[in-house]
Amino acid sequence: MLSRHFLRSKVLQIIYSGRYESVSDANLSAVFEYHIGKLNELGVLQVSLLPAVADAAGRILEEGKGKFRPTEDDLNPNPKLAHNEFIRRMADNFELKQCMEKWCNCWKLHDNLVREAFLDFRQRPEYKEYLEAEPGFETDKDFAVFLFRYLMNREALCEMIASRSLLWEDDFDQIAQYNFMMLKTLEEDTFDEAMMWPLMYDRRREKDEEDMTFARQLLRDTLACREESDELARRYLQGWEFERVSRMDILLINMAVAEFTGCPTIPEKVTVDEYIELSKEFSSDRSRLFINGILDRMVLELRSRGRINKTGRGLIDYNLNTD
């Protein structure tokens, strides 16, 4: 499930690219849907590494039996990872299996990377501890989650995944963190082949659709009202020339104005806080104070002009300090 903060960041990136300013509303929504849908592919590619590594482990252990001079360990290997119940349930899940068949054939083409990952990992003490641990779902789950974290920090695998789409470089770590937390929540009693696999974005979830509707509207409104918000910003740039202000800062202000005026259930303070946080991620160290000061003044004018009308439960009046 994607947070609204993350969706705001994707809207910002799409607008900043400058490629969609003349696109129609319908096509703009399709573009945004495509960008978010690609995150599902990224997420599935990441988790699919667990079954891929387990399969590689099984093959490598079988190959060891055929050595010209096999050791006792080669002849009687411990197949615990290859038979890991948690990973087996992942591979058997109907929805995840369909997604992996659609998106994850790349692991067959890059089997060398998967095999190297297992061969390196089995030298770690955590692998030996796992082989000696009491069997059971929770043991297998804890190990699979640990293995996933290891794989997400393996540079060659991450580069291979990220190379499949230019859209993924900035999102890789956040999607990996989502998957890490998601895998930890899966429980023995409910994790089976029929379980709905937790994708990044799933239109069947009401909350996901609500958040996507918000993001699509924010994208359209920001592009539609940029001239108005630019003109408003010019009046409050005390000691600054508009053309010399960071383009990223102006876009953050544009988005905030669109959210002030187009999202009646979101309190102004929430909006201001969100764009200050985004400025920390995407702009300079000074942007936070600059954007905060501009938005404080803009809210007062937009209120006085009747352009902000907040409704709904739980809204708190945003008393701005204009001193």
**Predicted pLDDT at 312:** 57
Report whether 213 contacts 205 (CB < 8 A).
no
Which pLDDT band, with edges at 50, 70 and 90, does 50 fall under?
A: very high
**Predicted pLDDT at 222:** 93
Closest CA to 147 of 117, 173, 168: 117
> pLDDT (tens digit, 9 = 90+) per residue, 208-234?
999 999 999 999 999 988 888 888 888
Report whether 309 contacts 268 (CB < 8 A).
no
Using the predicted structure, report yes or no on whether residue 247 has a pLDDT greater than 80.
yes
Q: What is the mean pLDDT of residues 274-299?
A: 90
Q: Which domains does the chain have, with CATH numbers?
A: 4-185 (no CATH), 225-304 (1.10.940.10)
d(CA 243, CA 304): 27
Q: How many other CB atoms sit within 10 Å of the CB of residue 297?
A: 16
Which pLDDT band, with edges at 50, 70 and 90, does 315 fall under?
A: very low
Q: Which two tokens stand for residue 257?
A: 């104005």
Q: How many other CB atoms sit within 10 Å of the CB of residue 293?
A: 13
d(CA 118, CA 127): 10
Report whether 293 contacts 318 (CB < 8 A).
no
Which pLDDT band, with edges at 50, 70 and 90, does 5 fall under?
A: very high
d(CA 296, CA 289): 11
Report whether 49 contacts 151 (CB < 8 A).
yes
Q: What percent of the chain has pLDDT over 90?
A: 59
Q: Is 198 helix (H, G, I), strand (E, B) or coil?
A: coil
Q: What is the pLDDT of the chain when averaged over all its residues?
A: 89
**Predicted pLDDT at 314:** 43
> pLDDT (tens digit, 9 = 90+) per residue, 121-180?
999 999 999 999 999 999 999 999 999 999 999 999 999 998 888 878 888 999 999 999
Closest CA to 268 of 320, 231, 216, 304: 320
Q: Which residue has the tokens 């989650």?
A: 145
Closest CA to 261 of 303, 292, 316, 312: 303
d(CA 145, CA 86): 10
pTM of the model: 0.84
Using the predicted structure, report yes or no on whether residue 309 has a pLDDT greater than 90.
no
Encode burial over 268-281: b for 16+ CB neighbours within 10 A, e otherwise.
bebbbebbbebbee
Which pLDDT band, with edges at 50, 70 and 90, does 238 fall under?
A: low
